[in-house]
Chains A and B, each alone.
Chain A
Amino acid sequence: MSDQDYRPGLRESATFDRSTIHEIQRAASTGIYDIRGFGAKRKVPHFDDLLFLGASMSRYPLEGYREKCSTDVILGNRYASKPLHLDIPVTIAGMSFGALSAQAKEALGRGASAVGTSTTTGDGGMTDEERGQSRHLVYQYLPSRYGMNPNHLRMADAIEVVLGQGAKPGGGGMLLGQKISDRVAQMRTLPKGVDQRSACRHPDWTGPDDLAIKIEELREITDWEKPIYVKIGATRTYYDVKLAVKAGADVVVLDGMQGGTAATQEVFIEHVGIPTLAAIPQAVQALQEMGMHRKVQLIVSGGIRNGADVAKAIALGADAVGIGTAAMIALGCNHPRWEEDYRKIGSAAGFYDDYQAGQDPAGISTQDPELASRLDPVDAGRRLANYLRVITMEAQTIARACGKSHLHHLEPEDLVAITIEAAAMARVPLAGTEWIPGRGNGGF
């Protein structure tokens, strides 16, 4: 309750707080569930609950700028003859043209390419803008197959078979009529202005045994050159990672519940899936048990914001991370310069999550030509590159402090937790103790 609303004697219910009451009223008046973008907004145990043990006496730190701390990563060298070599272990997660404007997609390509990392297509296919501007482009292979084109498959640097995403594991995509412009409609072979209902399952395979055959087909079509990623939303992560490896994945992309979306039911975003922090150790355990850790690479996404998050994810066993929401913010999403416009549509800078509505004042999650033209792909790309450089340097700073000459030398033993929940989920000791809750009880 803000100060101006305060009146003695008024007490807000913890169960029926104002936003809950508002949602019931909204549902009663419209008859449709709340659909929005962004990721989970509830507080869950996260990387902030972990701390690094920097070097002092027992370990020796490295000097910044003089003593090298490498950041490169190779993705997909299990079966693919042309794996990806990235300069930094921070990749741009899949976001579609359709969800984002062409300018935003181009900016993502420019920013990622400037720092030597990859960007990823999304539902709806590959645009010339993003292929043109992306040095490393991962082509998503989704249930809807909107805009799916074998020429694009062959033009891509890697293929990501999407089973799910952290914001909505088990759910299909959704793009509301407002965003189905002429170009989006044409790319997806849909009538203009319809609500696009993306499927939640692939149309021609179900389950890991059939996925193995699908992956073999994709490899055949691309002559075994391209790495095949398998992307999963974090839920039954231990099993899903094992099955992705059994099905033949080169890389597993693991998206935690904080991962963003362009448009999904609020109830899905906030109530399905597990936090990124809880998912990583399950995935790493699965890979280690199969002897595949760091052989089948693990890309973790869902709530990565800064270099500390990058370093923590890698220390827990990830080979690289993916960013989506943070990349959009770097481009200019939720920027205060559009405050007045945010207010006009009932939102505010820092709160805007109606990516489904296509009215993004920052010109990113929109197909409105006028709004989209607000985003200069060159400027926005530079902002993204800056941001990627910053978080990479931050991760290096931490790694050097822990005495590591490569980010991949970070390990779980470099971490402690400051809450019991985080200690249990990340499987690192509570700070100042040797206690890892749940250890000895059969792991997960």
Chain B
Amino acid sequence: MCGIVGLYLKDAGLESRLGALFEPMLLSMSDRGPDSAGFAIYGDEVAAGNIKFTLQNEDPAHDWDGLMQGLRSTLDGKLDWFRNTSAAVVKTSADETSVRDYLAAHSPDTRVMSVGRSIEILKGVGHPRLVAERFSLSGMAGSHIIGHTRMATESAVTMSGSHPFSTGHDLCLVHNGSLSNHNQLRRELVRHGLRFETENDSEVAAGYLTWRMREGASLSEALRSAIDDLDGFYTFTVGTRHGFAVLRDPIACKPAVLAETEQFVAMASEYRALARLPGIANAKVWEPEPGKVYVWEHSARHVEETGT
């Protein structure tokens, strides 16, 4: 039960202003989700053969320097990192498994928020304004960004219960709604080897997409099969390395609105989140149809609207 916002820039000239354009969108959804907030920002891509982690630790006194020194001396490859309050972004040429293994062994309370070449996921408990300020959202640059404000329904208000949920390399998911068969699905996914950190229904949706794509499905295919396998009410927005996707359940009660101009594509739970975007007055504005997968992909700058 929440607010969703997403902004994907077609005009590369706006990239330095991505955070500034996006912050009012996120904050306008505070009433829909005052418990926690988060966002996944894409940009600052690492070169091929490298990988980027976003780590978070809720202990303000966490010894990031010590952790990074340890990682550096252990890993086979170079490592750059910077800290953003409770989070750290780590770029390395080392392989993912050895980083994860080191963290699990030496800093088990440090959580991996995201892994990929472009994605950084930052999220936290508290009013969306506090979360945006903590991470200095308004100054961030990038190509696209997806955010979420959360009103927790059945699971606890925690950092790990906040959205977005990572669904694999450079992929994340945010959700507004409530799934009705996630417990059963979680058990099934666990049997397929997935691990879950929360009782959150949205994390199951994220895990489901991860699993489907691991089995070889494209993002569109994974979302199309979600229509059959995920029961309940949902609006999903999924971030990809090159764009984003939107899907509403076949009943489509939870709100969603899309806007598109020559410069950007934007998505939000309510139109008010879009009202301050440049050129919105002449944008194409519509509500995504039920059970239909909408995908925007960066590289080809094409739009794929996939019906079922």
Contacts and interface: CB of A to CB of B under 8 A. Distances in A.
Q: Are the chains A and B members of one assembly?
A: yes
A243 B176 CA distance: 15
Interface string B233-249: 10000000000000000
Most chain B beta-carbon contacts within 10 A, residue among A201, A206, A209, A210: A209
Interface string A287-312: 00000000000000000000000000
Contact of B255 (A201, A210, A243, A246): A210
B33 A209 contact: yes
A209 B233 contact: no
A207 B154 contact: no
Contacts of A212: 31-32
Interface string B49-78: 000000000000000000000000000000
A239 B153 contact: yes
Interface in B9-26: none
Most chain A beta-carbon contacts within 10 A, residue among B1, B32, B254, B255: B1
A422 B118 CA distance: 55
- A interface majority secondary structure: helix
Interface in B231-282: 233, 253-255, 269
Contacts of B153: 207-208, 239, 243
B176 A239 contact: no
Interface string A194-210: 00000001000011111
A207 B178 contact: yes
A73 B33 CA distance: 32
Contacts of B151: 208-209, 243, 246
B161 interface: no
- B interface majority secondary structure: loop
Contacts, number: 35
Given A207-B233, A208-B1, A239 B254 contact: no
Interface in A204-263: 206-210, 212-213, 236, 239, 243, 246
A239 B255 contact: no
Given A208-B151, A208-B153, A243 B253 contact: no
Most chain B beta-carbon contacts within 10 A, residue among A206, A212, A236, A243: A206
Given A243-B151, A243-B153, A246-B151, A209 B253 contact: no
Interface in B88-109: none
B253 A206 contact: yes
Interface residues on B, range: 10 to 19
B254 A206 contact: yes
Contact of B154 (A213, A236, A246): A236
Nearest to A207: B1
A209 B154 contact: no
A239 B154 contact: yes
Contacts of B178: 207
A371 B41 CA distance: 69
Nearest to B270: A213
Contacts of B269: 209
Contacts of B37: none
A201 B232 CA distance: 13
Contacts of B2: 209
A370 B1 CA distance: 50
Most chain B beta-carbon contacts within 10 A, residue among A213, A236, A246: A246
Contacts of A239: 153-154
B207 interface: no
Contacts of A201: 253
Contacts of A206: 233, 253-254
B302 to A, nearest CB: 33
B38 interface: no
B291 interface: no
Interface string B139-163: 0000000000001011000000000
B116 interface: no
Given A201-B253, A212-B31, 10 more contacts: A206-B253, A207-B253, A209-B31, A209-B32, A209-B151, A209-B176, A210-B255, A236-B154, A243-B153, A246-B151
13 contacts: A206-B233, A206-B254, A207-B253, A207-B254, A208-B151, A209-B2, A209-B31, A212-B31, A243-B1, A243-B151, A243-B153, A246-B34, A246-B151
Interface of B: 1-3, 31-34, 151, 153-154, 176-178, 233, 253-255, 269
Interface of A: 201, 206-210, 212-213, 236, 239, 243, 246
